[in-house]
């Protein structure tokens, strides 16, 4: 019986001991939190103090013994020195001088002397057309001119003789040695030869004009560059027909396209509600899509004094301050119009 009672006493829960343990843990947790907060505040205060000391050392005046120069002041941003961007737009690089070179006459291409990318000078021969028919007509007109000149050379002495005879007959008529009919016959002969000479002179002039015409047609078969530039496209090959007018079929209308690279500029369409931000001569910063990190200085050349009704835009021409071989026609470009500094 006594052993069972001892066993029950051991199994009984000591409520007083458990309560004491709960009371001790309830005040221990707040103490730990307070200590942690104090430690964190001290660490933050130490970090800020060290940062302030470092900044003071960097910006403070140099010591007399060190001899170090003070740090230079930070320069203003580049955009501020150029002016504030007031408007952004996009457009394309265009050439003011660009031409598709053709011929003045219809003919078959005999040879083409240019290729894409070739630089040409003004007056340089680009191509030649078949000129066999023109050359034949030129030779015929030259022969006709030579015949007219020889006929005139034959008439001149006959006219001189007829005039001398008429003069002689006029002197003899006063003494009645020559009849009146002989005198009139000699006069008519002299006047006829004089009229023939005048006609032959006019025929020579006509023949000379005809020769000049055929020579001009022969020159038209030689196609030359109208200005200096670079060939950007070759449109015809030997053996093809070319014509200054579009006649359909396989007839070409041009030999090649030449672009004057010194006339490159930018054309952009600006919304008409923002055109008041653009001023002639204003500074512009251009960026080609092909070279997005390259900022090209430019300026407004002109604002075209008309608007596009359908797009509600105004065209603006922008010129580069300095051209570069990397700038090519029809390249896409973005521009930023700069305000006054």
Q: State the pLDDT confidence band at 7, using cuts at 50, 70 and 90.
A: low
Q: Please return the burial class of 114, using the count of CB atoms within 10 Å of its CB with bins 0-12, 13-18 and 19+.
A: buried
CATH dotted code for 98-130+221-259: 2.40.50.100
Q: Report the distance separating Cα 225 and Cα 12, nearest Å.
A: 119
338 versus 51: the higher-pLDDT residue is 338
CB 223 within 8 A of CB 255: yes
Q: What is the pLDDT of residue 77?
A: 37
Mean predicted confidence (pLDDT) in 258-269: 93
Among 304, 251, 252, smallest CA distance to 278 is for 304
103 versus 41: the higher-pLDDT residue is 103
111 φ/ψ angles, rounded to the nearest 5 degrees: -155, 150
Q: Which fold has domain 131-220?
A: Helix Hairpins (1.10.287)
155's CB contacts (< 8 A; 6+ apart) are 193, 196, 197, 200
Label the pairing between strands 264-271 and 85-95.
Answer: antiparallel
Among 244, 246, 247, smallest CA distance to 221 is for 244
Q: Is the pTM of this model over 0.85?
A: no
CB 136 within 8 A of CB 181: no
241-270 burial, b at 16+ Cβ within 10 Å, e below that, comes to bbbeeeeeeeebebbbbbbbbebbbbbbbb
Q: State the pLDDT confidence band at 76, using cuts at 50, 70 and 90.
A: very low
Q: What is the pLDDT of residue 9?
A: 54
Domain boundaries, given as residue ranges, for the chain: 2-59, 85-96+260-338, 98-130+221-259, 131-220
Among 266, 243, 41, smallest CA distance to 129 is for 243
Q: Report the distance separating Cα 186 and Cα 179, nearest Å.
A: 11
CATH dotted code for 85-96+260-338: 2.40.30.170
Label the pairing between strands 313-320 and 264-271.
Answer: antiparallel
137-170 burial, b at 16+ Cβ within 10 Å, e below that, comes to ebeebbebbeebeeebeebeeebeebbebbeebe
As beta bridge partners, residue 267 has 92, 317
Tens of pLDDT, residues 284-305: 999 999 998 999 999 999 999 9
Distance separating the N- and C-terminal Cα atoms of the chain? 109
Q: Report the distance separating Cα 283 and Cα 321, nearest Å.
A: 10
246 versus 316: the higher-pLDDT residue is 316
Of the CA atoms within 13 Å of residue 251, those in its CB half-sphere come to 14
CB 226 within 8 A of CB 258: yes
Q: What is the pLDDT of residue 21?
A: 52
């Amino acid at each position: 019986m006594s052993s069972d009672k001892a066993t029950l006493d051991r199994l009984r829960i000591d409520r007083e001991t458990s309560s004491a343990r709960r009371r001790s843990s309830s005040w221990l947790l707040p103490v730990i939190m307070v200590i942690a907060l104090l430690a964190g505040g001290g660490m933050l205060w130490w970090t800020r103090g060290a940062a302030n000391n470092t900044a003071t050392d960097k910006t403070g005046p140099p010591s007399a013994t060190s001899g170090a120069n003070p740090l230079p002041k930070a320069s203003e941003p580049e955009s501020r020195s150029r002016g504030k961007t007031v408007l952004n737009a996009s457009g394309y690089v265009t050439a003011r001088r660009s031409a598709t070179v053709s011929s003045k006459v219809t003919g078959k291409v005999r040879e083409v002397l240019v290729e894409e990318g070739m630089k040409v000078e003004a007056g340089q021969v680009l191509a030649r057309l078949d000129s066999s028919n023109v050359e034949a007509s030129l030779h015929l007109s030259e022969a006709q001119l030579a015949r007219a000149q020889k006929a005139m050379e034959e008439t001149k002495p006959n006219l001189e003789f007829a005039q001398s005879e008429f003069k002689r007959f006029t002197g003899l008529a006063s003494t009645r040695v020559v009849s009146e009919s002989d005198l009139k016959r000699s006069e008519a002969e002299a006047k006829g030869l004089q009229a023939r000479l005048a006609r032959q002179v006019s025929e020579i002039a006509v023949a000379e004009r005809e020769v000049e015409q055929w020579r001009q047609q022969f020159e038209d078969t030689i196609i030359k560059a109208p200005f200096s530039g670079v060939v950007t496209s070759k449109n015809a090959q030997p053996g093809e027909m070319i014509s200054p007018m579009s006649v359909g079929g396989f007839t070409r209308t041009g030999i090649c396209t030449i672009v004057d690279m010194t006339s490159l500029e930018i054309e952009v369409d600006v919304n008409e509600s923002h055109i008041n931000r653009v001023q002639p001569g204003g500074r512009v910063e251009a960026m080609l899509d092909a070279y997005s990190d390259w900022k090209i200085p430019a300026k407004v050349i002109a604002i075209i004094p008309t608007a596009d009704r359908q797009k509600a835009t105004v065209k603006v021409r922008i010129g580069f301050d300095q051209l570069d071989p990397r700038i090519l026609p029809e390249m896409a470009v973005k521009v930023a119009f700069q305000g006054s500094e």
